[in-house]
């Protein structure tokens, strides 16, 4: 963080302001100076700073008052106070009031630089901890998109082309087609790859907490806001923000999001501070957003802002060429993970896999292979290992009829079979089908099951 931080120096002594300016900007930071407490405070209220250097003894509004104002506004603010050599008591008081550290006068530029570096390191750690605690999924390892169908090759080309740019990308596709995988791949191949990839699950966002979740809030800004909170935009700073299931956000939220995307600035709830939002935005949807726009449930202007580069992921049954290579990869993966040594998928079993319609797409295929790896007692996965999962109906004599059946019937029957297999336990059936419970419940309703 040090080297690109935003630093505010508040001191009435011109020589100190100048030397701070010099030392910090030489290291690549941005430095703003203020010659008295009031000016400093005004700057602070307008902009977000990573670090504040504050002289305690100033004419007019004193340093301690400025410190209290700052900490009242943003308890996470990192303030280093400058104290006169004879006023150790005030240094102690400042620390009690939330200052991070103090430098007694006179000081060398080097000692100041060291303290600043340590303070910013601490802030970075705090942010990283929050990222971990929030269980923001980390960018783990290279993200390989498997597939050799024409459509997946096109997707891959697009991913490589768009990754190094900062363009907003809208990924569309049915459940389990690999939208999140593609989003992570774009992040991974971009210049932001060492920065966070932060997921916003729009489906589970509570309307009235949306702003605080995204923009953060300061302590006490509303009932329940007992601590200052970093918003997802801050957590994703310099990285990528992934809006999953963007089709689920309300009109009200759409307007707010549009504003941020246009202005690239956010305001924490309960504070006037404006924070620059340096994030790359990727959104995903399993809904037809264009249709939603026509129906008036999704704002057209937001749709165009998001779909600067649209990437559509076709359902797996429309790219059956990908099935064998995906299946083989999942076989390797689950051999490793489950400590098994299954050598192959038999020809017949593979045929069943290729002919099956995969309503749950790649995720369902992945689950099927995992199950096969676990269940098979031989070195090869046979149709019977998949039969348990309800697949091998598609082989041999029945495969022709399968193809002429409507997708509706196939999905309905498959759901019924899966439910039976798991004794009507929705959670487990949903997992096997590669959808979440909510989706499965909706489908049960749609098909009049249960
Ligand atoms: N082309 C692919 N190559 C390798 N793995 C894939 C591919 N597509 C999907 N997967 C795997 O399938 C699973 C589901 O993918 P992902 O979570 O990206 O789907 P999604 O479209 O976001 O689904 P949902 O709409 O349900 O959230 C993941 O484990 C992912 O790694
Ligand atoms: Mg997803």
Atom of ligand 1 nearest to the CA of 439: 26
Q: Locate the DSSP E strands across 39-110.
A: 51-55, 79-83, 101-104
The pLDDT profile of the chain, 450 residues, written as one tens digit per residue, is: 777 899 999 999 999 999 999 999 999 999 999 999 999 999 998 888 999 999 999 998 999 999 999 998 888 889 999 987 666 788 888 888 899 888 888 888 888 898 999 888 877 777 666 655 544 444 444 568 999 999 999 999 999 999 999 999 999 999 999 999 999 999 999 999 988 899 998 887 777 778 888 888 887 777 777 677 788 998 899 999 999 999 989 998 899 899 999 998 988 888 877 888 899 999 999 999 999 999 999 999 999 999 999 999 999 999 999 999 999 999 999 998 888 899 999 999 999 999 998 989 999 999 899 888 988 889 999 888 886 555 544 444 343 444 455 677 778 888 888 887 777 788 888 888 888 888 888 888 877 776
Please tell me the predicted confidence (pLDDT) of residue 398.
41
**Is residue 106 reached through a cis peptide bond, with omega within 30 degrees of 0 on the bond before it?**
yes
Please tell me the predicted confidence (pLDDT) of residue 141.
47
Q: Which ligand is nearest to the CA of 367?
A: 1
Report the separation in Å between the CA atom of 234 and the middle of ligand 2, taken as the mean of its atom positions.
22
Q: Which ligand is nearest to the CA of 244?
A: 2
Taking the C-alpha atoms of residue 164 and residue 181, their distance in angstroms, rounded to an integer, is 17
Ligand 1 site, residue 146, Cβ cutoff 6 A: yes
Please tell me the predicted confidence (pLDDT) of residue 210.
83
Please tell me the predicted confidence (pLDDT) of residue 78.
92
Q: Please choose, from the candidates 100, 124, 128, 103, the residue with its C-alpha nearest in 3D space to the C-alpha of residue 23.
A: 103
Supply the angle between the helices 347-355 and 322-338 in degrees, to the nearest 10. Answer: 120
Identify the residue whose tokens are 């899966």. 418
* C-beta separation of 383 from 352 below 8 A: yes
Report the separation in Å between the CA atom of 100 and the middle of ligand 1, taken as the mean of its atom positions.
44
Cα→Cα distances 329→109, 333, 378, Å = 56, 6, 19
* Total-model pTM: 0.66
Ligand 1 site, residue 123, Cβ cutoff 6 A: no
Q: Please choose, from the candidates 309, 393, 289, the residue with its C-alpha nearest in 3D space to the C-alpha of residue 349.
A: 393
Atom of ligand 1 nearest to the CA of 146: 3
Ligand 1 site, residue 360, Cβ cutoff 6 A: no
Report the separation in Å between the CA atom of 311 and the middle of ligand 2, taken as the mean of its atom positions.
14
* C-beta separation of 395 from 354 below 8 A: no
Please tell me the predicted confidence (pLDDT) of residue 314.
96
Determine which residue's CA is closest to atom 26 belonging to ligand 1.
175
Please tell me the predicted confidence (pLDDT) of residue 395.
41
User: What is the CATH superfamily name and number for domain 150-314?
Assistant: P-loop containing nucleotide triphosphate hydrolases (3.40.50.300)
List strands edge to edge, sheet with 169-173: 197-201, 240-244, 280-285, 169-173, 309-313
* Cβ burial 150-185 (10 Å sphere, 16+ → b, else e): eebeebbebbeebbeeeebbbbbbbbbbbbbbbbbb
Q: What is the CATH number of domain 6-133?
A: 3.40.50.2300
Please tell me the predicted confidence (pLDDT) of residue 138.
42
Report the separation in Å between the CA atom of 173 and the middle of ligand 2, taken as the mean of its atom positions.
10
Every domain range in the chain assigned CATH 1.10.8.60? 317-446
Identify the residue whose tokens are 């290579």. 325
Identify the residue whose tokens are 């774009």. 186
Please tell me the predicted confidence (pLDDT) of residue 402.
42
CA atoms within 13 A on the CB side of 263: 12
Taking the C-alpha atoms of residue 43 and residue 34, their distance in angstroms, rounded to an integer, is 8
Ligand 1 site, residue 366, Cβ cutoff 6 A: yes
Atom of ligand 1 nearest to the CA of 329: 4
Supply the angle between the helices 179-188 and 150-162 in degrees, to the nearest 10. Answer: 40
Taking the C-alpha atoms of residue 23 and residue 59, their distance in angstroms, rounded to an integer, is 25
Atom of ligand 1 nearest to the CA of 244: 27
Atom of ligand 1 nearest to the CA of 147: 1
Determine which residue's CA is closest to atom 31 belonging to ligand 1.
181
Q: Which ligand is nearest to the CA of 177?
A: 1
Q: Which ligand is nearest to the CA of 326?
A: 1
Taking the C-alpha atoms of residue 347 and residue 382, their distance in angstroms, rounded to an integer, is 8
Please tell me the predicted confidence (pLDDT) of residue 238.
92
CA 137 from chain center: how many Å?
Answer: 7
Every domain range in the chain assigned CATH 3.40.50.2300? 6-133
Ligand 1 site, residue 179, Cβ cutoff 6 A: yes
C-alpha dihedral, 157 to 158 to 163 to 168, nearest 10°: 180
Taking the C-alpha atoms of residue 136 and residue 144, their distance in angstroms, rounded to an integer, is 20
Q: Please choose, from the candidates 237, 254, 248, 319, the residue with its C-alpha nearest in 3D space to the C-alpha of residue 286.
A: 248
274-276/265-267 β-pairing: antiparallel
Please tell me the predicted confidence (pLDDT) of residue 223.
74
Name the CATH topology of 317-446: Helicase, Ruva Protein; domain 3 (1.10.8)
Please tell me the predicted confidence (pLDDT) of residue 450.
65
Determine which residue's CA is closest to atom 7 belonging to ligand 1.
178
Every domain range in the chain assigned CATH 3.40.50.300? 150-314
Report the separation in Å between the CA atom of 28 and the middle of ligand 2, taken as the mean of its atom positions.
38
Mutate to test the pocket of ligand 1, among 176, 182, 200, 203 (most ligand atoms within 8 A of CB): 176
Mutate to test the pocket of ligand 1, among 142, 158, 362, 435 (most ligand atoms within 8 A of CB): 362
Atom of ligand 1 nearest to the CA of 171: 21
Ligand 1 site, residue 181, Cβ cutoff 6 A: yes
């Amino acid at each position: 963080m040090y080297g690109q931080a935003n630093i505010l120096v508040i001191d009435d002594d011109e020589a100190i302001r100048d030397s701070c300016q010099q030392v910090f900007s030489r290291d690549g930071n941005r430095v703003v100076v203020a010659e008295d407490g009031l000016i400093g405070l005004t700057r602070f209220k307008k902009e977000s700073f990573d670090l504040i250097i504050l002289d305690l003894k100033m004419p007019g509004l004193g340093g301690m008052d400025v410190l209290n104002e700052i900490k009242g506004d943003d308890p996470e603010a990192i303030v280093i106070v400058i104290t006169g050599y004879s006023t150790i008591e005030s240094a102690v008081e400042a620390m009690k009031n939330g200052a991070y550290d103090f430098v007694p006068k006179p000081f060398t530029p080097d000692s100041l630089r060291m303290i600043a570096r340590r303070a910013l390191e601490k802030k970075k750690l705090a942010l990283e901890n929050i990222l971990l605690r929030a269980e923001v999924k980390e960018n783990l390892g290279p993200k390989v998109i498997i597939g050799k169908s024409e459509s997946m090759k096109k997707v891959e080309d697009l991913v490589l082309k768009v990754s190094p740019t900062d363009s907003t990308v809208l990924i569309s596709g049915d459940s389990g087609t690999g939208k999140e995988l593609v989003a992570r791949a774009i992040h991974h191949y971009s210049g932001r790859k060492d920065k966070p990839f932060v997921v916003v699950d729009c489906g589970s966002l509570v309307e009235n907490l949306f702003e605080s979740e995204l923009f953060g809030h300061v302590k006490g800004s509303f009932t329940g806001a007992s601590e200052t909170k970093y918003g997802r935009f801050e957590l994703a700073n310099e990285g990528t923000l992934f809006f999953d299931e963007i089709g689920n956000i309300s009109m009200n939220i759409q307007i707010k999001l549009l504003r941020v995307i246009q202005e690239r600035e956010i305001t924490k709830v309960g504070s006037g501070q404006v924070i620059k939002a340096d994030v790359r935005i990727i959104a995903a949807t399993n809904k037809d957003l264009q249709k939603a726009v026509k129906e008036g449930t999704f704002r057209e202007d937001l749709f165009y802002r998001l779909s600067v580069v649209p990437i559509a992921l076709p359902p797996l049954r429309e790219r059956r060429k990908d099935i064998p290579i995906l299946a083989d990869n999942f076989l390797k993966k689950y051999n490793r993970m489950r400590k098994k040594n299954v050598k192959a998928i038999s020809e017949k079993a593979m045929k069943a896999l290729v002919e099956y319609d995969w309503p749950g797409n790649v995720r369902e295929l992945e689950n099927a292979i995992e199950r096969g790896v676990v269940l098979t007692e031989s070195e090869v996965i046979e149709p019977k290992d998949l039969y348990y999962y309800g697949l091998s109906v598609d082989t041999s004599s029945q495969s022709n009829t399968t193809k002429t059946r409507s997708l509706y019937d196939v999905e309905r029957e498959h759901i019924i079979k899966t439910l039976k297999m798991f004794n009507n336990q929705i959670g487990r059936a949903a997992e096997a089908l590669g959808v979440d419970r909510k989706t499965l419940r909706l489908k049960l309703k749609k098909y009049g099951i249960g």
